[in-house]
Amino acid sequence: NDVHVATGLLKLYFREISEPAFTDHLYPSFIKAGHTSGEERSSQIQALCQELPRSHRKTLAYLFRHLQRVAQHSSLNKMQYNNLGIVFGPTLLRESEPSLD
């Protein structure tokens, strides 16, 4: 029942899948959107998320619902939204490692 083991496995899964959750193709656009602010950022990110493959959107929606529940208990687990972003962000939004083939 160690939550750290479960979290480690979840992060490992997202790190080891061949294509990142936010996809290589959209990576530059997500980075660019992150440099905007306010409503512009929100609308750009929402539009980009609609371009993700359906399976990615469904997986991310499920993960984010889980992380929302984690954040709701932040007084006990110290995992506010910003901490969850630090922990999961680099795993979900990343460039794939180049193939050594």
Predicted pLDDT of residue 98:
61
Give the DSSP letter of residue 36: S
Can you list the domains of the chain with their CATH numbers?
3-92 (1.10.555.10)
Predicted pLDDT of residue 95:
87
- Residue 75 DSSP SS3: helix
Predicted pLDDT of residue 20:
95
Q: What is the pLDDT of residues 38-90, one digit of tens each?
A: 999 999 999 999 999 999 999 999 999 999 999 999 999 999 999 999 999 99
Q: Which residues of 71-93 are buried (b: 16+ CB within 10 A; e: fewer)?
A: eeeeeeeebeeeebeeebeebbb
Predicted pLDDT of residue 2:
85
pLDDT for residue 101 is more than 70: no
Alpha carbon distance, N-terminus to C-terminus of the chain: 39
